[in-house]
Amino acid sequence: MEWSFRSAVELAAALRAGEITSVELTDEAIAGIERGDTVINAICVRTFDRARAAALRADQARARGEDRPLLGIPVTVKECFNIAGIPTTWGMPPHRNYVPVQDAVQVSRLEAAGAVVLGKTNVPLGLQDIQSFNEIYGTTSNPWDHDRTSGGSSGGSAAALAAGFGALSIGSDMAGSLRTPAHFCGVFAHKPTLGLAPARGMVAPPAPPLAVDLDLAVVGPMARTAGDLTLLLDVMAGPDPLTLGVAYDLTLPPPRHERLRDFRVLVLDEHPLIGTGVAVRAGVNRVADALADGGARVERRSPLLPDVTEAATLFTELLFSGSAAYFPVDEYEQLRSRAAELKSSDASLDATRLRAMVFSHRDWLAANNRRELHREGWRRLFAEFDVVVCPITPTPAFAHDHNPDLLGRRIDIDGAEYPYFDQLVWAGLATMPGLPSTAVPAGHSPEGLPVGVQIIGPMFEDRTPLRLAELLEPKIGGFRAPTRGLHQHHSKAE
């Protein structure tokens, strides 16, 4: 276990110094997975033979004097990314045997950077849940408490990192799918600016891997340190050669500041549409206090913040109109008749979801135009502030809930019940306008569960929230290895 929880930056330095080989690191990672993953079930597809071969190649390359950003570092990949010759299912039983013939662009970039892929991490059915379970691969549990979810849809990746299975992982995020699992498992993640990292080949089977511009979804890095997020983002970022040609170079601007005391921060911990749990509010306040102690300018409100209720409505409309667009005709017609029965005065998120699922193109364009007004509002806000710090979801990890009626599920926030998907409003705050957002650990709940917060930055200024995450890390503790919920289920596992 000596190397399992080291950062990728530390591993790269050790590999360069000859303190360890990639083969040794890979063997240790594989042993850790074989020992610890039976209870957690983070790695749904093991590619150990390929990993050992890649590690050997990495060591040989280093012996020849080569060096690359991730050369010889063990990593994992979310199940939804195509790897040639390995099944991609998105947890959908009809596609359990679908095998792509081409790597996703991000898998190609990982391998070009020298990474050693240990396997694929578990996801929910169609990536459409805040948990990670499906009929093909079963349920991923939280390494801190196996009765609770690791989050979704990048739940397998977050659990793998928290358990020490690889130093880095790549995931995706549309409704918090990178940030929520990071918050639930006590690790770091970064949702890049929309369009910064190409997603070609992260596509539901059996669709072809086309170079499409996604409306809300992004792909991004997950890690156990803030510095590792930057290391991996630099590998992932930059245009898809199919769309913009290799001549186009996107150089991200440097962070706005290098010292904590120079940052101007807006801190939010209340949302008009949903309660904030005590544990999450405490995490936000811990970060706010660390910022203030470091000399940053911290404000709790600003008239420049775009209306968060309208933002939640717009996010819900854009998200659910997209997710229902390919439903079978009979299901679509049922939704249409249900939406027609809604009272016009009903402005709840439940009603918004139902109406959005049967949006016309005219309806969608109206929502999209309002999104542009919000983007303009965020530009004005970011002239006065550098980042916004706020919750990712209102609670720490919740108990596994496999009720097949997702819209019938409820989330308990300190004794008050809300519709399950209402907890997405905080994640949507960054997703709807396409802003970068870094998820950072912010301590633990009274029950010992991890709590994270997100740092939202200006569009294409990803290095600003990433840098602040790095500056905060020593002040608020960063990643801590789970006291491994293993005692709970030890008797069952034996």
DSSP string, 325-358: TTS-HHHHHHHHHHHHTS-TT--SHHHHHHHHTT
Coil/strand/helix, residue 426 = helix
Q: Residue 493 above 80 pLDDT?
A: no
Q: What is the rounded average pLDDT of the residues 383-405?
A: 98
pLDDT classification of 488: cutoffs 50, 70, 90: very low
Q: Helices 22-40 and 8-17, interaxial angle, to 10°?
A: 150
pLDDT digits (tens, 9 = 90+) for 66-102: 999 999 999 999 999 999 999 999 999 999 999 999 9
- Number of C-beta neighbours around residue 215 at 10 A: 16
pLDDT at 34 > cutoff 60? yes
295 Ramachandran zone, left/alpha/beta (phi>0; psi -120 to 50) = left
Question: Has residue 492 got a pLDDT over 50?
Answer: no
User: What does the pLDDT read at residue 428?
Assistant: 98
SS (H, E, C) 159-188: HHHHCCCCCEEEEEECCCCCHHHHHHHCCE
pLDDT of 2 reads 85
**Model confidence band, residue 241 (pLDDT cutoffs 50, 70, 90):** confident
The least confident of 24-28, 102-106, 242-246 is 242-246
Residue 463's nearest CA partner among 261, 200, 237 is 237
Out of 4, 7, 22, 78, pick the active-site residue. 78
Q: Give whole-number Cα distances, 404 to 140, 238, 345, 350, 408, in Å.
A: 17, 39, 29, 17, 8
491 falls in which pLDDT band (50, 70, 90)? very low
Residue 244 has a pLDDT of 65
Spatial distance between the Cα atoms of 316 and 184, rounded to a whole number of angstroms? 22
* Neighbouring C-beta atoms of residue 88, cutoff 10 Å: 25
Sign of the dihedral through C-alpha 356, 361, 367, 371: positive
Q: Say if residue 485's pLDDT is above 80.
A: no
For 245-296, how does the pLDDT look when each residue is reduced to its tens digit (9 = 90+)?
554 566 899 999 999 999 999 999 999 999 999 999 999 999 999 999 999 9
Nearest CA to 476 among 447, 451, 446? 451
Judged against a pLDDT cut of 90, whether residue 374 lies above it is answered with yes
Nearest to 122 by CA among 92, 168, 86, 79: 79
Q: Are the C-beta atoms of 351 and 467 separated by less than 8 Å?
A: no
Residue 313: band (very low, low, confident or very high) from pLDDT cuts 50, 70, 90: very high
* 312: pLDDT strictly greater than 90: yes
Nearest-angstrom CA–CA distance, 239 and 199:
10
- pLDDT of 487 above 60: no
Query: What is the SS3 string spanning 243-308?
Result: HHCCCCCCCCCCCCCCCHHHCEEEECCCECCECCCHHHHHHHHHHHHHHHHCCCEEECCCCCCCCH
Spatial separation of the C-alpha atoms in residues 206 and 159, rounded to whole Å: 27
Q: Within a 13 Å sphere around the CA of 293, how many CA atoms are in the beta-carbon half? A: 11
Give bridge partners of residue 455 from the DSSP assignment. Answer: 389, 438
- The rounded distance, in Å, linking the Cα atoms of 139 and 357 is 28
Dihedral sign, Cα of residue 427, residue 199, residue 404, residue 318: positive
Alpha-carbon distance 390 to 79, whole Å?
29
Instruction: Mention every residue, 6+ apart, whose C-beta is less than 8 A from residue 64.
Output: none
Among residues 22, 132, 150, 153, the one annotated as catalytic is: 153
Mean per-residue pLDDT over the chain, rounded: 95
Q: Return all residues near 392 (Cβ < 8 A) that are at least 6 apart.
A: 176, 179, 180, 182, 183, 426, 427, 439, 452, 453, 454
Catalytic residue among 157, 177, 321, 445: 177
Pairing, β 168-173 against β 74-78: parallel
**Known catalytic membership, residue 78:** yes
The number of beta carbons lying within 10 Å of the beta carbon of residue 272 is 9
The overall pTM is greater than 0.75: yes
Q: Measured between alpha carbons, how far is residue 15 from residues 29, 107, 167, 196, 400 in Å?
A: 15, 22, 14, 29, 39
State yes or no: is 153 an active-site residue: yes
Residue 367 to residue 375: CA distance in whole angstroms: 12
Asked whether 200 and 209 are in contact (CB, 8 A), the reply is: yes
- Find where tokens 């039983």 sit: 93
Instruction: Lowest mean pLDDT of 39-43, 139-143, 183-187, 489-493, name the range.
Output: 489-493
Range in 62-71, 105-114, 166-175, 244-253 with the lowest mean pLDDT: 244-253
> What single-letter DSSP state applies at residue 493?
H
- Which residue type, as a one-letter code, is found at position 341? E
Distance CA 263, CA 248 (A): 31
∠ Cα 484 444 428 (to 5°):
110
Q: What percentage of the chain reaches a pLDDT higher than 90? A: 93
Distance between CA 311 and CA 308 in Å, rounded?
Answer: 5
Average the pLDDT over 475-480 and give the result.
Answer: 96
